Amino acid sequence: MNSTFTKILRLLLGLSLLIFGINKFIGFIPMFEMPVAAANFMESLESTGYVLYVVAILEIIIGILLLLNKWVPFALILLAPISANILLFHLFLDVSDILVAIIIASLNIILIYKYWKSYRPLFQ
């Protein structure tokens, strides 16, 4: 669990989540043109008034937990549905930007595998 490879993956995932989570509030990474279906979906999430903010706060919290190496197995499980939705959004609505989604989902899966000992009691 504490190999150099695992630390690098954990820090990379934590930093990316922190950056993308903060970006949802500040908007320092420019948004590129999205397909109509993706833009409509994002507009509907924004119109709720809370969904994007909840996701952003969760991304920031999970990113901080990963960076500080605290409650990592919990943070990874909390991130699983978020990374799955990021991947599915890009797979079905905006394929042009799917690379980042694949990286986030892959890092999450690899780290869950690396911390599998922590999850083993859940399946007994």
Separation of alpha carbons 78 and 85, rounded Å:
12
Q: What is the pLDDT of residue 1?
A: 59
Q: What is the pLDDT of residue 32?
A: 80
What confidence tens digit (pLDDT) does each residue in 26-61 have? 988 888 888 999 999 999 999 998 999 999 999 999
**Backbone phi, psi, residue 5, to 5°:** -60, -45
- Cα–Cα nearest to 53, from 74, 24, 13: 24
Q: Which amino acid is it at 10?
A: R
Question: What is the rounded average pLDDT of the residues 77-94?
Answer: 95
Q: What is the pLDDT of residue 9?
A: 96
In DSSP notation, 6-35 reads HHHHHHHHHHHHHHHHHHHHH--SPPPP--
What confidence tens digit (pLDDT) does each residue in 97-116 have? 899 999 999 999 999 999 99
What confidence tens digit (pLDDT) does each residue in 8-23 have? 999 999 999 999 999 9
Q: What is the pLDDT of residue 41?
A: 92
Q: What is the pLDDT of residue 72?
A: 96
Residue 60 CB coordination number (10 Å): 18
Q: What is the pLDDT of residue 123?
A: 86
* pTM of the model as a whole: 0.91
Q: What is the pLDDT of residue 120?
A: 92
Q: What is the pLDDT of residue 27?
A: 84
- Cα–Cα nearest to 72, from 110, 23, 124: 110
